[in-house]
Amino acid sequence: MLRCRAGKPGADVASAACCTCRHRYQCYQSLHWFHVDRDGNHRSARHHFRNRCCVLPQMPTLIYACLVSLLPAIAIAHVQQAASRFSGEWLLTGLLIVVAALYARGFLRLWHKSAAGKHSLRRQGLLFSAGWMVMALSLLSPLHRLGARSFTAHMIEHELLMLVATPLMALSKPLGILLWGFRSPIRQVLAGMGKTSSFTAFWNVISSPLSASLIQATMLWVWHSPMLFDRALQSEGWHAAQHLSLVFSALLFWWSMNRTAATLQRPGVAVFFLFFTSIQSGFLGALMAFANSPWYTRYAAMGMSGTGNLTPLEDQQVAGLIMWIPGGAVHALAAFFYLGLWFHQLRRAQRSPQVSPTV
């Protein structure tokens, strides 16, 4: 059992908002401060964190450096843009900056108050920073502008968001740190909302491997339908909605896969849904690659003025190949990783009959 010195028991992430203890550590599902042994004595939680918890902090200066390095990309992304396109792009820019600022503030609080586990904190912080930088560069670099003229560039942008940035950020489990970025009254309100039975039930439904996989698949197919994709090309507001939908669904998917395999120790389930995602996204890419005509009228109207000397159909075929092969390969590699973890559990269970691995 874990308690703080004030006698408050360890609880879920949301309940951490109400604690005033000096030592705060963010873990997978709870905040642990001091381990209470069987005799009721307090002892250091360092060994407990090293073996059972995945602590998440990071040096705040790294986040501030990311914010500073983002400024040139913002300037480049918005140069020579029409006034009607500002709203969607500045929405994405604002969200990225707010998230980074909250994360840095949460780290400033936790980093100076944590007495153990700083190596793990730094490692997890680097994961978040890497994912955030990839996301920022994808949305605010010239690649974003090029995506308005080239479906291939647009596809590369989507693949970076869904297959590089979001897995890194999901692995860092930043929600607890973001919570500490808010002021105490807001943090307590959010904590209370997170502990309600209705929210818990809703979250358990949408974050299950089945629901997360279906939500991501739905977002992928719906937003790549000709009607909505053309609308996203014509309106920066719809374009921002497209990116937000894809990013949030991908974050939910990767968080669910990691939790299912690592925390719940059911890697077989994660393997199945990763292969399912690889097949359905690869099938969509194959349909684009083998299409006989362009799907999207906005790109088709550009003729040869898109990327290089590619026709709109060739541009779409290249984009389909990118979704099909590299995109499917990322999910397949993740599935093989969790498959190896599953086999490791099976071998360990054979050596220790009392341990029964779950699928």
Is the pLDDT higher at 203 or at 64? Answer: 203
Cα 223 to Cα 216, 295, 320, 330: the distances in Å are 11, 13, 14, 21
pLDDT in tens, 52-87: 333 333 344 444 444 444 444 444 444 434 444 445
| pLDDT on residue 245 | 94
- How far apart (Å, rounded) are the C-alpha atoms in residues 31 and 53? 10
Least confident of 22-31, 72-81, 134-143: 22-31
- Please state the rounded mean pLDDT for residues 170-187: 86
| pLDDT on residue 115 | 67
Best-predicted range by mean pLDDT among 127-136, 191-200, 229-238, 294-303? Answer: 127-136
| pLDDT on residue 307 | 63
Kindly report the average pLDDT of the chain as a whole number: 75
| pLDDT on residue 111 | 77
pLDDT in tens, 83-102: 444 455 677 888 889 999 99
Give the pair of three-digit tokens for residue 84: 């009607």
DSSP summary character for residue 323: I
- How far apart (Å, rounded) are the C-alpha atoms in residues 295 and 312? 9
- Please state the rounded mean pLDDT for residues 25-39: 35
| pLDDT on residue 52 | 35
pLDDT band at 50 (very low <50, low <70, confident <90, very high): very low
Question: Which of 70, 123, 132, 134 lies closest to 103 in space, CA to CA?
Answer: 132
Q: Give all strands of the β-sheet with 2-3 in edge-to-edge order.
A: 2-3, 34-36, 42-43
**Residue 119 in 3-state DSSP?**
helix
- Please state the rounded mean pLDDT for residues 239-264: 91
- How far apart (Å, rounded) are the C-alpha atoms in residues 37 and 43? 8
Share of the chain above pLDDT 90, in %: 34
Residue 179 has pLDDT above 70, yes or no: yes
